[in-house]
Amino acid sequence: MKKIGFLLVLAIAFISSCKEDPPQEIVNSNLSVSISHEYNGADLNFLTDSYIMPKGDTVNFSRLSYLLSNFYLVNSNDEKVKLEDQYAFISAAEDITTFELTGVPKGSYKAFGFHLGIDSLVNYGDPNIYPADHPLSPIRNSLHWSWTGGYIFNAIEGMLADGSENFIYHVTGGKETIEFEYTVFLNKENNALNASLTYDLAEAFKNPEELDFNIDGYSAHTEEAPAAVKIFKNLVNVITLNSIE
């Protein structure tokens, strides 16, 4: 009888050992992002400091605001891990320069990316669906063209240092966004992540096309405006990744 009981215990232990291990829980954490703002490598200070434009004009800046979207990571298997439905509103003059991304899975990553601007479906959707504190709420960001529809992707405003002219460049891509992707070597365990970026405003006016007030004018409120066309092309160079860890 004892022998039978012993064999029964062994059988139960064997069956238990053959059961599949329960699937491991996917552990997600956050990614904190901070963006510093410069002009030709110098700190960008609004209204107080003056800066030299590519054609030699001296200016002061009063506003630099923009929208970011479509955040993602690329894992070691070359799979894009999208951080869905997350947006960031940045306003450098108001010191709104940090944001938090959620739902970043544990894993090894080789690239980090996002878009400046928002995709056309959201861009031309109803902006009133967002609560007042949402990055895409016009109440919060003042980046929506109510008269024509769609968002301003990047707003740059200021004046000539002598006060003789103001400039306002409200730039959009319409149905196009600008993608930034950076190579990283990242092994994310359960810990939260931090990323540091830099936006150099000088690049928006000079690389690859130089902005000239006398030719391109002092304002842009449509995609087709000469200044908007130049700045949109140049925006591909404005944001660099300093670190992510």
- Kindly list the domain boundaries of the chain, sorted by start residue: 26-244
Q: Is the pLDDT of residue 13 over 50?
A: no
Cα(159)–Cα(199) distance, integer angstroms: 20
What integer pLDDT is reported at residue 212 of this predicted model? 98
pLDDT, tens digit (0-9, with 9 covering 90-100), for 54-79 = 999 999 999 999 999 999 999 999 99
Segments in the chain forming alpha helices (H)? 2-18, 120-123, 138-141, 203-206, 213-216, 226-234
DSSP conformational letter for 25: P
Cα(149)–Cα(151) distance, integer angstroms: 7
Q: What does each C-alpha distance from 99 to 107, 205, 244 come to in angstroms? A: 22, 26, 14
- pLDDT band for 114, please (50, 70, 90 cuts): very high
What integer pLDDT is reported at residue 8 of this predicted model? 43
* Mean pLDDT computed over every residue of the chain: 89
Average pLDDT over residues 205-220: 96
- pLDDT band for 15, please (50, 70, 90 cuts): very low
Q: What does each C-alpha distance from 196 to 32, 85, 165 come to in angstroms? A: 9, 21, 34
Q: For residues 173 and 232, is the Cβ–Cβ distance under 8 A?
A: yes
Cα(18)–Cα(21) distance, integer angstroms: 9
Question: Tokens 């544990």 label which residue?
Answer: 106
Q: Is the pLDDT of residue 43 over 80?
A: yes
What integer pLDDT is reported at residue 12 of this predicted model? 45
A 10 A CB-CB count for 12 gives 10
What integer pLDDT is reported at residue 149 of this predicted model? 77
Average pLDDT over residues 156-173: 96
pLDDT, tens digit (0-9, with 9 covering 90-100), for 121-132 = 999 999 999 999
Cα(162)–Cα(56) distance, integer angstroms: 13
What integer pLDDT is reported at residue 147 of this predicted model? 64
